[in-house]
Amino acid sequence: MGHHHGHSHGHSHGHGSHGHSHGVAGAGQNERRLLLAAALTTVTMLAEAIGGFVSGSLALLADAGHMMTDAAALILAWLAVRFARRPADWRRTYGFDRFEVLAAFANGLALFFISAMICYEAFQRLFEPVAVMGGTMLTIAVIGLAVNVATLLILRHGGEANLNVRAALLHVMSDLLGSVAAIAAALIILQTGWTPIDPILSMVITLLILRSAWLITKDAGHILLEGAPSDLDVREITKDLEASVPDVQSIHHVHAWSLSENRRVMTLHALTCDNVPPEKVAAAIKARLREAFGIVHATVEVEHQACADGAARTCDKV
């Protein structure tokens, strides 16, 4: 997506203009895919909601509720791709990457709320069964399944390089399972007339929704709390830099966080000896972070004496 707009000094020269133009082209394709998928999902969601009300099927309404959050997720993912391309300004010095994280967090909370509503209604229906029109329910559920498969095929090619699209794909996959559950409930009602299968399977769909909701909210919350990326251990990075970068005596005050799911940032202090040029040490540390840990944006403070921020360390001159 070409994220290196705000910091091309000294550490992103190796990426060149080709990488940037390729990222923009990929973002444009993902934008189109997400918009088409959102339009398809919205139309199906409306059809399932109407079908659920007409047929009296809670499984269809549950799947429509799930599709509503999916449509919102796809629209937010589309907006995130658009917003992330906007350049940083003096008020938002990191740009708009956090927009997709905020959107994901809000989306996850909405999924919890919808799940609670569906579960409440399902419990009510177990004790007070409602007549369900199996034929109408089956027709709408089959249409829902067909659209889910089409959406999956549209998004499939954008997911390899974009976490935002992969998250949208996860929604569509669980949605597809919801449609299968609604079809199963319709077939059982048509064959046996046993309507409790409808609220039972709607609760199964809700469990799928809750799993997605937990994963999305947990990951987004971790980023919003400035947590270190899950695959980075700052203790290991500290040891690695102290062992592999020449002239470094110690690494301390290490902070790692994410601006978005795929844009990491790090700051650290490095103690070295008086006779070593600080820019040489900083360049070596940044190169190591980029090659070994995939960290493109790092701010390195090089010290020759005890750390000004309080770490009582001295240089072991040889």
The per-residue pLDDT string of the chain (318 residues; one tens digit each, 9 = 90 and over) reads 344 433 333 343 333 334 344 445 566 777 888 888 889 889 888 988 898 888 888 878 877 887 887 888 788 878 877 887 788 888 888 888 787 788 778 878 888 888 888 888 888 888 888 788 888 888 988 988 998 899 888 887 655 555 567 777 777 877 787 788 889 988 998 999 888 888 888 888 888 778 878 888 898 899 999 999 888 999 999 999 999 998 899 999 999 998 877 788 999 999 998 888 999 999 999 999 999 998 989 999 999 877 766 644 444 543
Interior angle at CA 84, CA 80 and CA 260, nearest 5: 80
* Structure token digits, residue 309: 């921020």
| CA distance between the termini of the chain | 47
Q: Are 63 and 181 a contacting pair, CB within 8 Å?
A: yes
Going 36 to 41 to 44 to 49, the CA torsion angle's sign is negative
pTM reported for the whole predicted model: 0.71
Q: What is the dihedral of CA 77, 80, 84, 88, to 10 degrees?
A: -160
Distance CA 145, CA 151 (A): 10
